[in-house]
Chains A and B, each alone.
Chain A
Amino acid sequence: MRRLSTALLLALAPSAALAEGKMPQMDFSNPLTGDQVGWMVVILVVLYLALSRWGLPQVGKVLEDRAAAIARDLAAARAAKLEADRAVSLLNATLAAARANAQAEVAEAVAQAKAKAAAQAAELNARMEAKLAEAEARIEAARTAALAAIKPVAAEAAQEMLRRLIGAAPPADELAREVDAALVARKAA
């Protein structure tokens, strides 16, 4: 109820006051009503001049400087990042080159070692071959010598056997031919 009367009073009070016709804002017969506008013009002109000539350009400059500083720092950061990227790529390239170099050197060393080993083996083989051939030649010579030694013995034995069997002996050179032929036949067999 009290609230209602408060609201009622609130609603009525301004209109009641206006009804009394005492609204100072509408009292244009008061010279001060016009005077205040004149002084407002003076104050506003001064305020406008102060703000437009001094205050606002200064604030604008502070803001511009800040934006410029931020842009400058960002540019510097971007340049530094580019530099770092280039350094990293350079490092990677150097690493790759060094790795390739090292691998090439290792491969070369391995190839050299292999070639050396192969050469040594070949030399050894050749020496062995030569020794083998020499031994074989020696054996062959010995064999030929032995065979050559057999011939007169065989001819003599055949002459003696024939002499005992038939009491006569063919001439030595004929017998030697026969023994040779027999030996050749044996060898062929």
Chain B
Amino acid sequence: MAGPSIDALGQFTLTPGLGPVGRALGFTNSNEAMLASALIIIGLFAAGLSARALVPGRLQSLVEMLYEFVHNMCVDTIGEEGRRFFPLVFTIFSFILLGNLLGLFPYFFAFTSHIAVTLALALFVFLFSTGVGFYTHGLGFLRFFVPAGVPGWLLPLLIPIEIISYLSRPVSLSVRLFANMTAGHVMWEVFAGFMLMLTAGLGVLGAIAAIIPLGLNVALAALELLVAGLQAYVFAILTCLYLHDAVHMH
């Protein structure tokens, strides 16, 4: 095909970041975005905590709202024990949220669209919650895989199902985030590429027609903003849910 073609996946290519130092240390462009996310979070806290006013300003309100949102999510989902896991859940939630949101900006790498990243996060959550389960209940945590109130002859069937469903948690957790972010960015790229193709193929007429994919991209931007927040929330609430299972076993 002559002229521009749609390279929807090139945006996900990893390249060394931070110049020659990054090249030597394997620091990638996705790590740059991660660093930016972490710095923005810490900067937000530093700015929000500078006044410590009784009646908060905007930034302080933002930080307090984030805090209370995640704190309530932890306590409501996990219970009183959720306070112990609150810093962890907050770190994961804010990191993913900032990653999703930063990824929406041009030139920013959406690191949550990499399965290696989301799988690592999901595996950590899975292993951590399983560890909490065994730490809290000892080997009794294995009873979690025995559904209560089920006739005995069904157990040989149900226990493997329970175990498989438990083991599939990190897969669903990671693929959900990865697929959502990838799909959104691919669609954006496709529509943007389609605008170029229309213009190159049909000239002025094509440029006018390109308004349609442009409008779609504008609508997509709103949708992706929603998805960015929603997927971070879903990841965090599922983390809380898994921790709830580990702590309460039901």
Contact of B194 among A9, A22, A24, A35 (CB under 8 A): A9
Specify which chain A residues have a CB less than 8 angstroms from the CB of B190 in the assembled complex.
Answer: 9-10, 13-14
Chain B, 201-239, contact with A by CB distance < 8 Å: what is the 0/1 string?
A: 000000001001100100000000000000000000000
Q: Would you call A66 an interface residue if the criterion is a C-beta within 8 Å of the partner chain's C-beta atoms?
A: yes
Q: Would you call B127 an interface residue if the criterion is a C-beta within 8 Å of the partner chain's C-beta atoms?
A: no
Whether A66 pairs with B49 at a CB distance below 8 angstroms is no
Whether A48 pairs with B88 at a CB distance below 8 angstroms is yes
Whether A59 pairs with B213 at a CB distance below 8 angstroms is no
Q: Nearest-CB distance from B39 to chain A (Å)?
A: 9
Contact of B90 among A24, A34, A56 (CB under 8 A): A56
Q: Do A51 and B87 form a contact, CB below 8 Å, given A32-B26, A35-B27, A62-B64?
A: yes
Q: Nearest-CB distance from A47 to chain B (Å)?
A: 4
Whether B87 pairs with A31 at a CB distance below 8 angstroms is no
Is the contact region of chain A dominated by helix, strand, or loop, or is it mixed? helix
Whether B30 pairs with A36 at a CB distance below 8 angstroms is yes
B40-70 CB contacts (< 8 Å) to partner A: 41-42, 45, 48-49, 52, 54, 56, 60, 63-64, 67-68
Listed stretches A38-46, A111-119, A130-138, A159-167; interface member: A38-46
Q: How large is the interface on A (under 10, 10 to 19, 20 to 34, 35 or more residues)?
A: 35 or more
Q: Would you call B183 an interface residue if the criterion is a C-beta within 8 Å of the partner chain's C-beta atoms?
A: yes
Q: Do A26 and B90 form a contact, CB below 8 Å, given A17-B6, A35-B27, A40-B34?
A: no
Q: Do A47 and B64 form a contact, CB below 8 Å, given A9-B194, A36-B28?
A: no
A69-101 CB contacts (< 8 Å) to partner B: 69
Q: Would you call A189 an interface residue if the criterion is a C-beta within 8 Å of the partner chain's C-beta atoms?
A: no
Whether A52 pairs with B91 at a CB distance below 8 angstroms is yes
Q: Nearest-CB distance from B64 to chain A (Å)?
A: 6
Whether A37 pairs with B120 at a CB distance below 8 angstroms is yes
Q: Would you call B182 an interface residue if the criterion is a C-beta within 8 Å of the partner chain's C-beta atoms?
A: yes
Q: Would you call A63 an interface residue if the criterion is a C-beta within 8 Å of the partner chain's C-beta atoms?
A: yes
Q: Do A17 and B186 form a contact, CB below 8 Å, given A6-B213, A59-B63?
A: yes
Q: Nearest-CB distance from B21 to chain A (Å)?
A: 12
| 16 further contact pairs, Cβ within 8 A, besides A25-B178, A58-B52 | A14-B186, A17-B6, A24-B10, A32-B14, A32-B26, A35-B25, A35-B28, A36-B30, A37-B117, A38-B26, A41-B120, A46-B38, A58-B45, A58-B49, A59-B64, A62-B64
- Residues of A bordering B, CB below 8 Å: 2-3, 6, 9-10, 13-14, 17, 22-26, 28, 30-41, 43-44, 46-48, 50-52, 54-56, 58-60, 62-63, 65-66, 69
